[in-house]
Amino acid sequence: MDTQRFDVDALLAAPRLTGLALDPDGGRLVAEVATADTEAGRYRSALWALDPDGVRPPRRLTRSTQGERDPAFLPDGTLLFVSSRPDAGQDEERSGLWALPADGGEARRLAAPPGGVDGIVAGGHTTRCLLASRVHPRAGDLGEDAERGKAREEAKVAAQLLTHYPLRHWDHWLGPRERALLDVDGAGGGAPAIVARAPDARLEETSADLAADGTRLVTSRWSAPADPRDRVTDLVEVALDADGAPGPERVVAAEPRVGFSAPAISPDGTRVVAVRSTLGTPEAPPRRTLVVVDLDSGEVTDVLAGLDRWPASPVWLPCGSALLFTADDEGHTLPFRVDLADGAVTRLAREGAFAALTVASDGRAVYALRSTVARPPVAVRLDPAAPEQEPTALPCPGDDVDPGSRVERVSAAAEDGAAVPGWLVLPADDGDGPAPLAVLIHGGPLSSWSGWHWRWSPHVLAARGWAVLLPDPALSTGYGRDWIARGWGRWGAEPYTDVMALVEATAARADVDATRVAAAGGSFGGYLANWIAGHTDRFAAIVTHASLWNLEAFHGTTDLGAWWENEFGDRYADVERYHRWSPHRYVSRITTPLLVIHGERDYRVPVGEGLALWTDLRRHGVEAAYLHFPDEHHWILAPQHARLWYETVLAFLDHHVLGQPWQAPELL
């Protein structure tokens, strides 16, 4: 790829790898690869076969207008996937389960439940698999569910009556159908049957696993406490008979104000590993570890008691004596191994951001997707026992994408003497002199700049001559719980001063122009951008995307308002933190031009936050612009909208920082 032309079009055209599956004999690794379809206005995914040995070139396996996703394998090598392609002789487009024979041929649809398919679990020794779908709460089976859906459609009724909390999540309302788990025979025998469900959307955004012999499933499930602040996920087991009929449910792990997530059943089916997370309090942030639960005795063992990192996505090695997981670690997201006999933890790589850990059936290799701040995700192979290794890259779509930017690790001393870390992305060459500086502040806030980013790409700016700073201030993950505690419940304190310390240290470099500096952020990063606007005129322009503006109003409109009380306290009894750290109180101090961006369907940070910010800016005479996306949510995902997002942001910065004439994108 021509590194001098890494513009928005190059970013949007790059293939995006998002998932992996390995067939039972280890000879075929399948990746889910998404590419932009500008005519359809969305990304379309397809499945590609990769060579686990890294010799043969990648080969595309599926091709349809609707796309394919969520690959999984049956024991005989049949490739399962989810697609909304219509079946032969049918015109309907509804996501269903499809099977592609191991020896090739045409794929056939195995199941298409009325509520579609939004996830699949397979890969054991049987042909049984689990589908996540949506079912009307009062429907006894999928036939009755279809009848209820048809009745509502024919009556032209979209209304819902909801009694649970929360009412909506991220970008959708929780109803009228609710998430359930279906049992289906991947060999094509019989219709799907409901095997796990819960009232009041309690399986929403949960995960499940199926034992290798198909006799039991374990799923996380939301509890239903009287106080929604105490809402957490428990682990629930369901026994399945030979025909897939479910037995009674049994709670296998539950504690007050402690959640269990990402369950994975051991190879012998006797244990389950899960992420254990406590809820925070206004006095202290959460804790997170991995636990192994004996499914027969109920004994719970913390297997990472001494690790000051936040584990995620655990998987078993086939021997059952060790686990792999990922965790943010000093500006990276690395793979780790923990041996259960002695608790020894081994870091398997030194740098990069790893995801989709996939273990070979013989336990001799683990495959993953690995990105860095400098390069997008590619498939790699690792030794599951070797420490600090450099993984072997496998030929895959997108492995030639190289924006050409220079990337450095940077640090600066905070006001309290702590070292504030970050990344600095620089143009490929020094150009005509010191580069203007753009500061991109990550969301979360419990997050980190640890790998490639599609939605906030520093390389698009670097290709235009900008230096781009990616700070990890207090509240960022990967630096230990104390680093989170520095900013816990005090978002405008250390998180703000940490960013400013790193900004000034970076601006003092000879290759950075200290007089031309901008800031931008989304979600929590947008909050901090708003806070910065009210506390300093250091920046020539600020971009604030999906941002929190009035914390008191935000509490009642965000999808998980009660959850925030675990950090900021009781909104009704003690409003002090909401008031103290709310950016809207400082609107009269703002003099910096702002670009406000918001999606109408954003329920995490509702559009009312953006509208209130805009109104307050105009009321106080601040130069500002508002970029509105009526059909996007917290993230701007459609490729045509992402292009307009980048074009508008770049035009705004060019005008207010570089002094160029204002030129709005042509389509706006």
Q: Express each pLDDT in 10-66 by its tens digit.
A: 999 999 999 999 999 999 999 999 999 988 899 999 999 999 999 999 999 999 999
Rounded to 5°, the CA angle 594-597-602 comes to: 145
199 pLDDT higher than 90: yes
In a domain, 568, yes or no: yes
Q: What distance in Å separates the CA atoms of residue 479 and residue 463, rounded to the nearest whole number?
A: 30
In which domain, by residue range, is 414 found?
Answer: 406-656
- Take residue 259 and report the two structure tokens written for it: 């959640």
Mean pLDDT within 481-506: 98
Question: Of 177, 197, 217, which residue is a domain's last?
Answer: 197
Q: What is the mean pLDDT of residues 92-107?
A: 88
State the CATH number of the domain containing residue 652: 3.40.50.1820
Position 3 scores a pLDDT of 42
Domain count, the chain: 2
Band of pLDDT at residue 624, cut at 50, 70 and 90: very high
Q: Which residues contact 167 (CB under 8 A, 6 or more apart)?
A: 173, 174, 559
Q: Residue 285 domain-assigned?
A: no
Could you tell me the two tokens for 243? 């025909």
The verdict on residue 222 lying in a domain is no
162 domain residue, yes or no? yes
Tokens 């015109």 map to which residue?
A: 91
d(C-alpha 164, C-alpha 166), whole Å = 6
Distance CA 527, CA 583 (A): 7
User: Is 143 within the bounds of a domain?
Assistant: yes
Q: Looking at this protein, which amino acid is placed at residue 314?
A: P
Q: How far is CA 52 from CA 27, 103, 276, 317, 392, in A?
A: 7, 18, 33, 18, 10
Determine the average pLDDT of the residues in 56-83.
Answer: 95
Question: What is the rounded distance in angstroms from the CA atom of residue 253 to the CA atom of residue 234?
Answer: 6
Q: Are 544 and 613 in contact (CB under 8 A)?
A: yes
Poorest-pLDDT segment among 9-13, 184-188, 284-288, 574-578: 184-188
Decide which of 147, 176, 197 is a domain's last residue.
Answer: 197
pLDDT tens digits, one per residue of 420-454? 999 999 999 877 889 999 999 999 999 999 999 99
Separation between Cα atoms, residue 514 and residue 26, nearest integer Å: 53
Calculate mean pLDDT across residues 299-325: 97
- Cβ–Cβ < 8 Å for 142, 184: no
Instruction: Say whether pLDDT at 279 is over 50.
Output: yes
- How high is the pLDDT of residue 2? 40
Average pLDDT of the chain is 95
Sheet holding 108-111, edge to edge: 68-73, 79-83, 96-100, 108-111
Q: How many CB atoms lie within 10 A of CB 287?
A: 14
Contact 208, 220 (CB under 8 A): yes
Q: Does residue 334 lie in a domain region?
A: no
Comparing 105 with 562, which gets the higher pLDDT? 562
SS (H, E, C) 78-99: CEEEEECCCCCCCCCCCCEEEE
Q: What does the block give as tokens for 74? A: 């049956």
Is pLDDT of 494 > 80?
yes
Angle between helices 524-533 and 494-507 (to 10 degrees): 70
Say if residue 351's pLDDT is above 80.
Answer: yes
d(Cα 309, Cα 82) in Å, to the nearest integer? 34
Pair type for strands 541-545 and 594-599: parallel
Tell me, yes or no, whether 341 lies in a domain.
no
- Average pLDDT on 563-578 reads 95
User: What pLDDT score was predicted for residue 261?
Assistant: 98
CA distance 194 to 349: 41
Asked if 57 and 379 count as a contact pair (C-beta separation under 8 A), the reply is no
Pick from 175, 197, 219: which residue ends a domain?
197
Percentage of residues in the chain having pLDDT higher than 70: 99
Give pLDDT, residue 189.
Answer: 72
The tokens describing 652, both together, are 């705004």
Q: How confident is the model at residue 557, as a pLDDT?
A: 96
Phi, psi of 154 (to 5 degrees): -65, -30
Task: Flag whether the pTM goes above 0.85.
Answer: yes
pLDDT the model gives residue 4 = 53
pLDDT of residue 308: 97
Q: What are phi and psi of 554, to 5 degrees?
A: -60, -40
Quick one: pLDDT at residue 1?
A: 36
Q: Which distant-in-sequence residues (6+ apart) come within 8 Å of 567 by Cβ?
A: 280, 282, 285, 488, 489
pLDDT at 89: 62
* Residue 655 scores a pLDDT above 60: yes
> Using one digit for the tens of pLDDT, what is the confidence trace for 389-401?
999 999 999 999 9
Report the pLDDT value the prediction gives residue 235, as an integer from 0 to 100: 98
pLDDT higher than 60, residue 292:
yes
Q: Is residue 360 part of a domain?
A: no
The rounded percent of the chain whose pLDDT value lies above 90 is 94
